[in-house]
Amino acid sequence: MKNYEHTQSKIIIIKSPQLKFADLGYIRNTNDSIELELFVAGKSIKKIAINYLVCIDEGCMSRSNFNAEYLSSAYPDELLQNILLGRAIYDGVGKLKVDDGFGQKIKTNDVDIKYRVNSHEIFFKDKKNRIIFKIKDIN
């Protein structure tokens, strides 16, 4: 059992070909690891723990294998962790500062990403791979 320094409850929406979820979740983290716990009707249905590996109910795998299986193999290894923590992705490519956060647009042959972070919401959408992450405050 890991002791996390920070715990936040959020409304979490995840839509990908392999993952579909929209309800309450907890994001717990320390400096080097993060855990996403998803609930439906107050019952824990999935945990995703990320440190040097990504561990889910079915077992642990490398970050690149997790991306290939659940998201997109085109994504950098640290993408999910950076989204969950509201950090810049792709080493800050295309990052534009806004009032209370930042936005990024990244378009390559493999991705078409719009990503924005502010004090109340994290929004990630990749049109090319049909993936959405939306993490917002409960109130």
Q: What is the pLDDT of residue 4?
A: 75
CA nearest to 31, candidates 71, 2, 74: 2
Q: Whole-model pTM?
A: 0.92
| H-helix segments, the chain | 63-70, 79-85
Superfamily of domain 6-137: Lipoprotein localisation LolA/LolB/LppX (2.50.20.10)
Contact 44, 38 (CB under 8 A): yes
Confidence of residue 110 (pLDDT cuts 50, 70, 90): very high
Contact 14, 132 (CB under 8 A): yes
Confidence check: pLDDT of 1 > 60: no
Task: Give 68's contacts (C-beta < 8 A, 6+ positions apart).
Answer: none
51-85: pLDDT as tens digits: 989 999 889 999 999 999 999 999 999 999 999 99
Confidence check: pLDDT of 2 > 70: no
In the beta sheet, which residues pair with residue 80?
A: none
Q: What is the pLDDT of residue 121?
A: 96
Contact 22, 74 (CB under 8 A): no
Q: Where are the domains of the chain?
A: 6-137
Task: Give 123's contacts (C-beta < 8 A, 6+ positions apart).
Answer: 114, 115, 116, 117, 133, 134, 135
Give percent of the chain above pLDDT 70: 99
